[in-house]
Amino acid sequence: MIVGIIGSGAMGTGIAQVLATAGHKVHLLDKNAKALERAAQNIKDTLGKLSKKGKLSEIDAAEILDRLNFTEAYQDFGSCDLVLEAVVEDLEVKQNLFREVEMIVPEYCILASNTSSLSIASIAAACEKPERFIGIHFFNPAPVMPLVEIIPAVQTREGLAEEMKQQVQSWGKMPVIVKDTPGFIVNRVARPFYGEALRILEEGIAEMATIDWAMTNLGGFKMGPFTLMDFIGHDVNYRVTESVFASFFYDPRYKPSFTQKRLFEAGYYGKKSGRGFYDYREGATQSEP
């Protein structure tokens, strides 16, 4: 299969690695040349580490890299069987890029979005052939996390969700088919997790490092809510919260927090920008629980 992935950020890079490892030819596209360079370097480093640990032979690592093409040109998508986008969580941006993609890809090409929260029906509505559109939602980091949510829209042709489920399984992942509702399963359950943690902080009940410590050491979570939001990135996480809140007709259960909004506005996106709830810059001291 030949796959086109749009957006070489955290998700697009991870997904490209998964698909090239599964044996597919992958064109990873971004509008930003620096993001493409970073993606190429990240994948190379990750494969190098796997080889060093003896989890991947050097020949296999070289073949995976060979299957990857880093590009800024949609023309490379001319013979794609699947195009999956992982760009910024913005409906208009996603709709516009699929309009462009449909002018280039073959009739049989399946179109998919990795959106965390936007309605699949609304992205599909921008397409000339919405029946070939579906949500395929990976988790971060994509090479490590097994779960993938598959979300057919009302327009998606019968049988495509099941076909994609089998395809995703062949990539070594564990897919579930979910209805096209805001946040699907995981991001819906996660909203109150973040929201309540933020309210506990804002009400002065406990400090964030204490809340994170309690949730990991006592609650059994792999990451506390503040560490997790910093890892996801507040640019992504805040937008998802706003989108889920609006999509549930402003149900107060999903209300965004000013604390997170200010981080987002300041460009304190978390780990990726060096500052978020915590300070990741060199020499910074971390708060103790």
C-alpha distances (whole Å) from 55 to each of 45, 47, 58, 270, 284 are: 14, 9, 10, 30, 34
Write out the two tokens for 119: 């309605």
**Closest residue to ligand NAI using C-beta atoms:** 9
Residue 139 burial (CB count, 10 A) = 19
Nearer to ligand NAI, 58 or 100 (CB): 100
- Chain Cα centroid distance, residue 47: 20
- The catalytically annotated residue of 85, 102, 149, 242 is 149
Active site residue 137: yes
Q: Is 24 one of the annotated active-site residues of the chain?
A: no
What mask, x for binding ligand NAI by CB under 6 A, covers residues 108 to 127? ------xxx-----------
Q: Which stretch binds ligand NAI (CB under 6 A): 60-68, 74-82, 87-95, 197-205?
A: 87-95
- Binding of ligand NAI by 12 (CB under 6 A): yes
- Which residue in 31, 12, 100, 23 sits closest to 60, CA to CA? 23
Give which of 200, 206, 152 is closest to 176, Cα–Cα.
152
Beta-bridge partner residues of 279: 275
Strands (DSSP E) along 119-185, which ranges?
A: 133-137, 147-152, 174-177
Taking the least distance from each CB to ligand NAI, the nearer of 111 and 217 is 111
Is residue 134 near ligand NAI by the rule CB under 6 A? no
Task: Name which position in 111, 236, 244, 263 contacts ligand NAI (CB under 6 A).
Answer: 236
Cα 232 from Cα 213, distance rounded (Å): 18
The only residue of 4, 5, 7, 21 in contact with ligand NAI, by rule CB under 6 A: 7
Site string for ligand NAI, 28-57 (x = CB under 6 A): --xxx--x----------------------
| Selected binder of ligand NAI within 182, 233, 256, 270 (CB under 6 A) | 233
Q: Of 116, 174, 170, which Cα lies nearest the Cα of 147?
A: 174
Catalytic residues: 116, 137, 149, 187
Q: Which residues bind ligand NAI (CB under 6 A)?
A: 6-12, 30-32, 35, 86-89, 93, 97, 114-116, 137-140, 232-233, 236, 240
